[in-house]
Amino acid sequence: MTRKYFGTDGIRGEIGKSPMTPDFVLKLGWAAGKVLAAEGTPLVVIGKDTRISGYMLESALQAGLVAAGVNIRLLGPMPTPAVAYITTAFRASAGIVISASHNPYQDNGVKFFSGEGTKLCDKTELMIEEYLDRDIETVSSDKLGKVERVDDAGGRYIEFCKRSIPVDATFNGMKIVVDCANGATYHVSPHVFSELGAEVIEIATSPNGFNINENCGATSLDALKAKVIETKADVGVALDGDGDRLMMVDHIGDVINGDEVLAILTEHRLKEEGLKNDVVGTLMSNLGLEKSVNAMGLNFHRADVGDRHVMEQMRQSGGVLGGESSGHIIVRDRIATGDGTIAALQVLYAVFKSGKTLHELKQVMNKYPQTMINVRIKDKINLKENVSIQAAVKAAETAMGDTGRVLLRPSGTEPLIRVMVEAENEGDTQKHAQSIADVVEKVAS
């Protein structure tokens, strides 16, 4: 069945426009409550990021859930992975996060976690959508849900993060710049690093409801790079608005993206624990990551783009490390979802144990040059069955052999075909990407 409202990561949109309106979110709360209530007396925890619209959506969700007979624990501003953790800690039926992640403040969204702290399965989302097409029926007054606020949620999450690395770890003498994107991690993540001994320099930790992700965080690294160099810091850590993405900067200002983080963690786990599990990336993961993992004697799998697809592939392969270039890193034996703070701790622990700098550790992976060309189209194109396009792809792949790769994929949000080529030589990536894009453009015209 095709989902009407749920996307790859919950329901998201611009505030005031369907579906991000108070009346829809109220009904979403009721629909989710009805599905959960079928399993007994449900308890739901709700967290949010720092967007001004979070208060409005939180109130609407509360009303709908209470009308369905669901008890609620409000966490206030809290990172998405913290909500996943607290959902399991409270033995709740589900967790709900009000956030649009790395999007600007005008957007917001609602995403759900199961009682196990994982994203909801398709079946449950479809059941919620089925109730969204019904009229709201409020339970009797004696069965209405109750709402309580959890005052120590931040402290619980800080301790949980610290427990994700061994007790022998200390970051004494390490200077870290932490960029919280003026988002949900602003009051927790800096404390995690400082309580482990690091000297922490905070930036983008003053949210005002409107400045989330604005020229800061994991999607905008210039301020972090400048601060690392200015303060002569050892490491820069950038989180996104809801705290599930991580990007890093080394002491000379070079960016370490999600692929390089995954390569560093794979090498560290292999040396420390004899890692035998496969590693999971996505279709967009750099070819250099695949070759690095293979050189360590491990298999590398590519899932569809999206952390839920990465997680599903990890379950199938038994892997404990997976992630995306954009910084969604899943360390499955620490937490069952992407967590920027916990991923950063694993990297810093690798720095601590190895005695090497982050710049030295990232040399484990040779990042291949990449060229991406977006071709605008009027109508859908069947990329796999178009003879001209496939011939152009085959020619490029033959020319590059095992030193490069081609990826064609339609955009999920715009009428575009994305043509991506990676190769050892940057000139080859540009030449082959342009030749394929020319053919796609001709077919599309």
Query: What's the alpha-carbon Rg for the chain, to the nearest Å?
Result: 22
Burial class (CB in 10 A: 0-12, 13-18, 19+), 146: exposed
- Torsion sign (Cα): 409, 412, 414, 415: positive
Q: Helices 80-89 and 153-162: crossing angle, nearest 10°?
A: 90
Spatial contact of 249 and 221, defined as CB atoms under 8 Å apart: yes
SS3 172: coil
Within 8 A by CB and 6+ apart from 123, the residues are none
What the block records as the tokens of 102 is 């790395």
Residue 141 falls in the annotated catalytic set: no
373 membership: H or E segment, kind and range: strand 370-376
Q: Phi and psi at residue 178, in whole multiples of 5°?
A: -120, 120
**Residue 102 corresponds to which amino acid?**
H
230 and 175 in contact (C-beta within 8 Å)? no
Annotated active-site residue in 53, 99, 101, 164: 101
Catalytic residues: 101
